[in-house]
A and B are shown apart, each in its own frame.
Chain A
Amino acid sequence: MDEILIIGAGVTGCFIARELSRYQVKVTVLDKENDVGNFSSMANSAIVHSGYDPEPGSLKAKLNVMGNAMYDQVCKELDVQFERIGSLTVAIYDEQLPLLADLVKRATLNGVPVKLLTPAEAKAMEPNLSDNVKGALWAPTAGVIDPFELCVHLMENAIDNGVTLKLNEEVVDIRSFGGIWEVRTKKNTYHAKYVINASGLQADHISGLVAPQTFKITPRKGEYFVIDYTQPALVKHTIFPLPSSLGKGILVSPTYGGNYIVGPSSTVIDDKEDLSTDKPTLDEIKKSASLMVKNIPFHKVIRVFSGLRATPSTHDFVIEEASPNFINVAGIESPGLASSPAIAKKVIEEFIAPKLKLFAKASFNPNVRPYHRFKKTSEEEWSKLIAQDRRYARMVCRCESVTEGEIRDMLARNCPPHTVKGVKKRSRAGFGRCQGGFCGPNVVAILADHYHIPLTEVPYDEPGTNIVKGATKEVGE
């Protein structure tokens, strides 16, 4: 039996698992997906917000600012790429200037360093800002991060330190027997003293299995464009419009990888699995973004995608004990990514530690074994790696410069990929301009070799999503 069971291996669940792995406590994480960070944590703006925008005094405000400050250390320990590039929130109409001034007040109340810039100052920082810019709010602590890498490295470190991860486990029922939670999935039954519900979009449903529903999670879809690298840079900071009741609005930002993201839209939908995109919404994003930033090279779009925010009916994060020893960590929509390290800390300090004596684990190692990234390594260093393993010289993905050695290393770790998408999320092979046209067959072959399965059984994502269907001459209609 586990002491603590975490439902959901998104960024919140991963952070909580990793924090708990510091202590002598048995922890298991369940996720219905085949990989960590495979839903909302995967498809978002990938930004660690500074925290100038949430309502002062709210959990969002408090945890965002606290979480943002924790990122430097976490990313250093876990070898996650993170860069505080700063954000500019721009006013493009004169009537928006008072709103910008309000944001300064709000930022000050939230404890976020910001500076109001004149149009000339803003243009000097970002030459591609619209000529209509009337002023901007600079928040230097905002950062860009790779959220896939973050989830994977958090979980890898948690597993290195003793946590158990069970993927492809969809929870169907939860009951309490004499103070012990019995959690049934489609395949297995788990028992634990404490359950932490970090199941994202499903959190209202999961909570409803044990307690009367006090909140509802509504999926709010955000669609995005990904734009290829440009020379010179299109923008160097995250550019936001002024926030509205719909959220932070459509941003234009470099990603941690160096290409650009434009979006998200904000559409309330019913279906918690609808990740489709549509033309009117994408056209609207183009229009909106072009009001703030000129020369956006939409002819260099390499991908469109959408993600779902888990919007709570309470308008703030829901962190509560729904039933004794059953803790909801729900409604973690934006700024959830920025807040997640602080959320984990809060959950443990306020809900676990008062009940369960947590003894530090002497063997706890906060660091993951450093990752090798061709793109970020000197030629000398890389040549040393090649001397140990020639596969570090075999370039599998040209667009993102990923070698076979890097992928093999990921496969040998404690939170390895099982799918083409898993490799893509970890290594960036397939994220570039050709979208897997060249690296796809290479990655499929590496996975087949590693797991000793035929090419026809290598899934892209869910079971049955194999890219090749059978040998030629074998497959007829």
Chain B
Amino acid sequence: MQTRELVIIGGGSAGLAAAVSAYDEGIRDILILERDEYLGGILNQCIHNGFGLHEFKEQLSGPEYAERFINQIKDRGIEYKLKAMVISVSRDKHVRYANETDGIVEIQARAIIMATGCYERSAGAIAIPGDRPVGVITAGTAQRYMNMEGYMVGKRVFILGSGDIGLIMARRLTLEGAKVLGVAELMPYSNGLTRNIVQCLMDFDIPLYLSHSVSKIVGREKLEKVVISQVDNTLNFIPGTEKEFEADTLMLSVGLLPNNYLLDDIGVIPSKTRGAIVNEHLETMIPGVFSAGNVLHVHDLVDFVSAEGRLAGHSAAMYLNGKLVKTGNYLKTIPLAGISYIVPQYINITNLEDKVELKFRPSKPMKDVWLITKIDGVVVKKQLKPFLIPSEMVNVSLEKGLFKEENQELTIETEVKA
């Protein structure tokens, strides 16, 4: 059996950044396994711009952003395999993959970074009432057909969900000559970035129907009609509010889910985000197995995915160099009022470096609230936030000095400003 110091599963934004940082910290025996025929992952189909403002201080398209990292991989001579699907990972870090060149290969890794990204919630998963015709497609799949294969999926399109891919695709379809009839969003607020609402919908006069969802899909074989209805505050349809759209395509942008299948398969209990449960070094419950990027929790911007990938690469290097102690004092992070989850879920205080970054999302839109972080009930940070919204991830950075070895729990909560 082959052995490797570090196997990185997924050659997208998280995996590439992880590989570069592990290499730069001295790890040489690295293998990246990528299931597609190119490195770069989903960035390759994101031909719009807006990537890289944090990472490179300039606006790049997805493929350009990917290229910068791919060049770093090639400059360092880091090995990678393409069209290589990982079949399984075991608790003792055996990785099995298959591709046409190598057949089925089993590798004993000393450390693994899971960077397998996310997948789209489908029509089936949200049980849209009505028929199940052809013409209902997720936005990412439509994007792949359009931007990578060069094919259109429809001419008259209605979009359900105001996630960023849906918004980007509204613009993209319009520019390609399709008519985008509208976007319905279940919540009373959009789940996309504000800049995308403005640049992709408002600039093209595409209506956004907040607090609306698809109440019926009509069409036995091919989609004929999409009926939307307003929802009340318990998210149930309000009779009499139906609006009908004749459409050949219903595109779904109703959420992304961590593609955490390899750990799910071996029964590792996932977190609330359906990603892995990790500590401050992004190490999962299996020592030496790390998780970063959208497979851990879905991010807003690729720049943040790269940063998280880098942390995973750094952590894997530390692990391989024996610098992460296995035992130590663990503190649990707990989301309280107004917070839906926190990554990481645990902090090993013994292993803390100069600071730890906590990432989380508010559970609902809020204005003028205090964001309060406490360790064992004592406030360690209190920030006034004029605006919080679930579609924008929040970071709190805490210095190592705030922690004591005996600490038990850290909480984050919101409090309306008096």
**A residues engaging B (CB < 8 A)?**
225-226, 229, 231-232, 273, 275-279, 282, 301-305, 379, 382-383, 386-387, 390-391, 393-395, 398-399, 401, 403, 433-438, 440-441, 455-456, 460-462, 464-477
Contacts and interface: CB of A to CB of B under 8 A. Distances in A.
Contact of B120 (A304, A437, A464, A468): A437
- Residue in B120, B150, B152 whose Cβ sees the most chain A Cβ within 10 Å: B152
Contacts of B133: 465
Contacts, number: 153
Given A437-B141, A441-B144, A465-B221, A475 B119 contact: no
Contacts of B83: 394
Contacts of A386: 98, 103-104
Sorted nearest first, the 5 A-B pairs with minimum C-beta distance are A303-B124, A395-B85, A435-B122, A468-B151, A476-B177
Contacts of B106: 379
Given A394-B83, A394-B99, A276 B149 contact: no
B104 to A, nearest CB: 5
B149 A398 contact: no
Given A232-B267, A301-B125, A475 B134 contact: no
A393 B179 contact: no
B122 A434 contact: yes
Contacts of A437: 119-120, 122, 138, 140-141
Contact of B151 (A305, A455, A461, A464): A455
Chain B interface extent, by class: 35 or more
Interface stretch (B153-161, B316-324, B333-341): B153-161
- Residue in A302, A393, A460, A462 whose Cβ sees the most chain B Cβ within 10 Å: A393
Contacts of B132: 275-277, 305
A391 B98 CA distance: 10
Contacts of B141: 436-437, 440-441
Interface of B: 35, 83, 85, 87, 96, 98-104, 106, 119-120, 122-125, 127, 129-134, 137-138, 140-141, 144-146, 149-156, 176-179, 217, 220-222, 237, 248, 261, 264-267
Given A383-B103, A394-B100, A460 B134 contact: yes
Nearest to A405: B100
A275 B179 contact: no
A276 B87 CA distance: 35
B409 to A, nearest CB: 26
A468 B152 contact: yes
A468 B137 CA distance: 11
A468 B129 contact: no
A290 B35 CA distance: 39
Contact of B179 (A434, A438, A461, A477): A477
A276 B131 CA distance: 4
A100 B151 CA distance: 58
